[in-house]
A and B are shown apart, each in its own frame.
Chain A
Amino acid sequence: MKIVVAVKQVAALDDDFEIRADGLDVDEDFLMYDLNEWDDYSLEEAMKIKEAAAEGAVEVIAVSVGPERVDESLRKCLAKGADRAIRVWDDAMEGSDAVTIGRILAGVVKKEAPAMVFAGVQSSDQANAATGMAIAASLDWPHAAVVAELDYQPGAATARIKRELEGGMLQAVEIDCPAVLTLQLGINKPRYASLRGIKQAAAKPIEHWSLGDLGLDATQVGATAALSRVRRMEIPVKGRAQMIEGTIAEQAAKLIEIIKEYKGEAA
């Protein structure tokens, strides 16, 4: 059986950066890329299932949508033990929103026919928390979000999960398989790739799939097919917030001074 793990290469920002001339995104030169933290946990969960099963019984496939630089993140997945890595890209995919990305990933899932699809709850850069659910919607599969515990035996018709709710509550759920689960941070302890794993991963191929491999055409992906579009990206104007420093007594004295100033009283 197969487990597909949807992963994303996310961008991290330094505190001083520039926005692109078209105003739609940050200038790429100011971004640092890495594997999304949530996806590290998703991959680890898949690896735990694989390692608990008989050798060769479970195949873990890491899948990502993005340009060539994404290969670096997929190599990390291979180094940690994923059996295969697939990168899907076509220039027509530029500008895809979470729903469209979900549609593309669903195309991979249809071809691979896994018993489970894992994704992170969200990505650290865009925080839509939508891709996993969009995959499920495209496939019309059962889904569960913010999974904090998973009990699943390869080949089983159902999985038992616990979802994290508000206030630390856990909701125990039984879900039919195949299903799409978005996994929460802390569900496990992700491993570090061994040097041997990294070296082996360097020699493993990354499969590059295009639109044609998925049976999609350019009208179904990218900015034209997206249901939402970025209109502008901006840095908000700083407010008049002021950090009041000092001891508690000093802070209280300063607060009184500010209140008096606003009320027009003499300090």
Chain B
Amino acid sequence: MSPQRFLSKSESQVPMTAQALVAHVLESGDFYAAVAVHGIADARQRQRLEERLFGSRRDVLMLARWEHTPANVLDALSRLEHMPLARRVVKHRNTGGSTLKHQFSQSDDPALTGLLALHANTPAPLLLQIAMGDHDQVVLKGLARNPSAQPEVLRLLAQRFPRRFDKEIASHAAVPVDLLATLYHRGDKFVRAAVLAHKHVPEALLLQAAKSTETLILRALVKHPQLPAALVDTLSQHKDNAIRAALATRADLPVHLTARLALDESDSVRRAVACRADLAPTLMQMLAEDHDPWVRQWLGRNPMAGKHVLQKLALDIHEDVRRAVARNPNCPITLLEKLASDHRSWVRAAVAYQPNVTSCLMASLARDSAVDVLSGVAANPHTAPALLKRLVFSEELDVRRGVILNPAAGPEILLPLLQDPYYLHRVMLASSPKLSDQDKWQLRDDPDARVRFALFQWLAARALRPVADRYFYRRKA
């Protein structure tokens, strides 16, 4: 099919106002488009949309569990009577706070409390109410893990049930600093480790933990940016591999310890060393000879690795090491040219994703038969538009998706993909700012409901934007 065909305007024009868009949907009777525009409809239109959406019990049940159902539709659903919807609505991640509150006040289903305790949108007073009154340990554990739980909730749980949820509370981002200290002092080693892993752990606790001999505590401590300097040297000789490996990742590791850890008997420690940005050339050369391929692989990915080290690793017997070199952002072009003809497609694919590849090399990679390589060429922003135009018609959907994900692919390249057989590609394009609304309008009759929903959701969001924004957006597009 000729690409020119896609450049022609669709027969009808995209409705430019919210009212016109909803009117179009009402006329078409499209169920999924109705879900998408429900939030921008006026009261009269909304009533007609709801007649369409809530016409059958089966549709209502489906909407309450469909992952894309927006908050406003879930709210409308929650007000329907004689429907087994409460659990579904409360379980739905898009349900808003006021809807959750309404469900909690209306339903006597005991399971709802547990679901509300877990929900990210449950209003703070409701979470506090659960923390104050509930006794179910499973519910309260879920509450302690809820990222939306505020400090008062955590404090209350720690008071009502000392030690019961201490580890969950210690791991929570919102835990107050003074509570961390309380939890540390009354906790076992697991709770203490969780406290030490917290980014707001008080320095006094770090100093206290430095005296510990408990491995679990030291593992948490060694990852902390404010590790007491005196401890760094001591821990570099600790018998636990995980402690030494964590130490090897620290930016403040003294040079002499880096050299010592580069000779460590544990592979995991040397792997961590191989990633360091401050490796001396002699250490790099030594690690390039390491018997563990993962050490060599991480060294190959290290942007600070020198040309000679990369040249050596590019000849490695393990393909993953050669691939790591090909992925290195500082890999010289001469080396990339060699790796582009590697006998393993996995290595050639890494070259295809490299932003430094010349257009000549990219043209050569575009003739490759391996799908991984072609996907890399398709996704590379430096690939020539002429090559991308060819790859749009690839048989392999991974290659076509590469073009869609390519930040440099313009509308003239993407337009044919509005006809892509794979629905997810059409969904991606329905939400792409690179295509104009008029180009996307051809998706209004798409056979896949998810595509139509994505299109009308995009258009509904556009309808809510100020007119000036829309004008400038169209000009840019």
User: Do these two chains really belong together in a complex?
Assistant: yes
Hey, which bits of chain A sit against chain B, CB under 8 A? 14, 16, 18, 28-30, 32, 191-199, 202, 246-247, 249-250
Residue numbers in A under 8 Å from B421 (CB-CB): 191-195, 197
B62 to chain A, nearest CB (A): 7
Residues from 65 to 84 in B contacting A, C-beta threshold 8 Å: 65, 84
Residues from 35 to 69 in B contacting A, C-beta threshold 8 Å: 57-58, 61-62, 65
A198 to B423, CA, bound (A): 12
Residues from 389 to 433 in B contacting A, C-beta threshold 8 Å: 397, 419, 421-423
Q: List 16 A-B contacts (CB under 8 A).
A: A14-B65, A16-B87, A18-B84, A32-B62, A191-B421, A192-B397, A192-B422, A193-B421, A194-B419, A195-B446, A198-B447, A199-B447, A202-B447, A246-B167, A247-B190, A247-B216
Of all chain A residues, the one with the shortest Cβ separation from B58 is: A29
B447/A195 in contact, CB under 8 A: yes
Residue numbers in B under 8 Å from A191 (CB-CB): 421
A247 to B65, CA, bound (A): 33
B224 to chain A, nearest CB (A): 18
A72 to B238, CA, bound (A): 65
Of all chain B residues, the one with the shortest Cβ separation from A191 is: B421
Of all chain A residues, the one with the shortest Cβ separation from B216 is: A249
Q: Does B322 contact A (CB under 8 A)?
A: no
**CB-based closest 4 A-B pairs:** A192-B421, A29-B58, A198-B447, A194-B421
A80 to chain B, nearest CB (A): 10
Q: Does B88 contact A (CB under 8 A)?
A: yes
Of all chain B residues, the one with the shortest Cβ separation from A249 is: B216
The residue from B61, B190, B419, B423 contacting A250, defined by CB atoms under 8 A apart: B190
- Interface size range on B against A: 10 to 19
A248 to B57, CA, bound (A): 47
**4 additional A-B residue pairs with CB within 8 Å, beyond A16-B88, A195-B447, A197-B421:** A16-B87, A18-B84, A29-B58, A195-B446
Residue numbers in A under 8 Å from B61 (CB-CB): 29-30
B220 to chain A, nearest CB (A): 11
Of all chain B residues, the one with the shortest Cβ separation from A14 is: B65
Of all chain A residues, the one with the shortest Cβ separation from B59 is: A29
Majority SS at the chain B contact face: helix
Residue numbers in A under 8 Å from B62 (CB-CB): 32
Of all chain B residues, the one with the shortest Cβ separation from A253 is: B190
Of all chain B residues, the one with the shortest Cβ separation from A16 is: B87
A194 to B422, CA, bound (A): 8
Of all chain A residues, the one with the shortest Cβ separation from B423 is: A192
B447/A28 in contact, CB under 8 A: no
B35 to chain A, nearest CB (A): 16
A28 to B88, CA, bound (A): 17
A169 to chain B, nearest CB (A): 28
A246/B190 in contact, CB under 8 A: yes
A197 to B167, CA, bound (A): 56
B57/A29 in contact, CB under 8 A: yes
A52 to chain B, nearest CB (A): 16
Query: By CB atoms of chain B within 10 A, which of A29, A194, A199 has the most?
Result: A29
A196 to B58, CA, bound (A): 30
A16 to B421, CA, bound (A): 33
A194 to B57, CA, bound (A): 32
Residue numbers in B under 8 Å from A198 (CB-CB): 447
A18 to B58, CA, bound (A): 12
A255 to chain B, nearest CB (A): 14
Residue numbers in B under 8 Å from A197 (CB-CB): 421
Known contacts: A246-B167, A250-B190. The answer to whether A195 contacts B419 by CB under 8 A is yes
A249 to B190, CA, bound (A): 9
Of all chain B residues, the one with the shortest Cβ separation from A246 is: B190
Digit string of B184-197 for contact with A (CB within 8 Å is 1, else 0)? 00000010000000
A191 to B422, CA, bound (A): 9
Of all chain B residues, the one with the shortest Cβ separation from A197 is: B421
Of all chain A residues, the one with the shortest Cβ separation from B395 is: A191
Of all chain B residues, the one with the shortest Cβ separation from A247 is: B190
A157 to B190, CA, bound (A): 69
The residue from B58, B65, B419 contacting A28, defined by CB atoms under 8 A apart: B58
A136 to B40, CA, bound (A): 57
Digit string of B250-262 for contact with A (CB within 8 Å is 1, else 0)? 0000000000000
Residue numbers in B under 8 Å from A199 (CB-CB): 447
Query: By CB atoms of chain A within 10 A, which of B58, B88, B446 has the most?
Result: B58
A47 to chain B, nearest CB (A): 14
Of all chain A residues, the one with the shortest Cβ separation from B56 is: A29
Residue numbers in A under 8 Å from B216 (CB-CB): 247, 249
A29 to B62, CA, bound (A): 8
Residue numbers in B under 8 Å from A30 (CB-CB): 61
A196 to B416, CA, bound (A): 13
B372 to chain A, nearest CB (A): 15
Residues from 424 to 458 in B contacting A, C-beta threshold 8 Å: 446-447
B107 to chain A, nearest CB (A): 14
A197 to B216, CA, bound (A): 60
Residue numbers in B under 8 Å from A14 (CB-CB): 65, 88
B450 to chain A, nearest CB (A): 13
A250 to B190, CA, bound (A): 7
A46 to B265, CA, bound (A): 57
A116 to chain B, nearest CB (A): 26
Residue numbers in A under 8 Å from B423 (CB-CB): 192
B81 to chain A, nearest CB (A): 16
Residue numbers in B under 8 Å from A196 (CB-CB): 419
Residue numbers in A under 8 Å from B397 (CB-CB): 192
A32 to B190, CA, bound (A): 44
B405 to chain A, nearest CB (A): 18
A37 to chain B, nearest CB (A): 16
A248 to B422, CA, bound (A): 43
Residue numbers in B under 8 Å from A32 (CB-CB): 62
A79 to chain B, nearest CB (A): 8
Residue numbers in A under 8 Å from B57 (CB-CB): 29
B195 to chain A, nearest CB (A): 15
Residue numbers in A under 8 Å from B167 (CB-CB): 246
A192 to B426, CA, bound (A): 13
A174 to B87, CA, bound (A): 54
Residue numbers in B under 8 Å from A193 (CB-CB): 421
Residue numbers in B under 8 Å from A195 (CB-CB): 419, 421, 446-447
A260 to B58, CA, bound (A): 50
A141 to B446, CA, bound (A): 43
Of all chain A residues, the one with the shortest Cβ separation from B141 is: A245
Residue numbers in A under 8 Å from B422 (CB-CB): 192
Residues from 103 to 153 in B contacting A, C-beta threshold 8 Å: none
A166 to B143, CA, bound (A): 45
A93 to B249, CA, bound (A): 68
Of all chain A residues, the one with the shortest Cβ separation from B57 is: A29
Residue numbers in B under 8 Å from A249 (CB-CB): 190, 216
B449 to chain A, nearest CB (A): 12
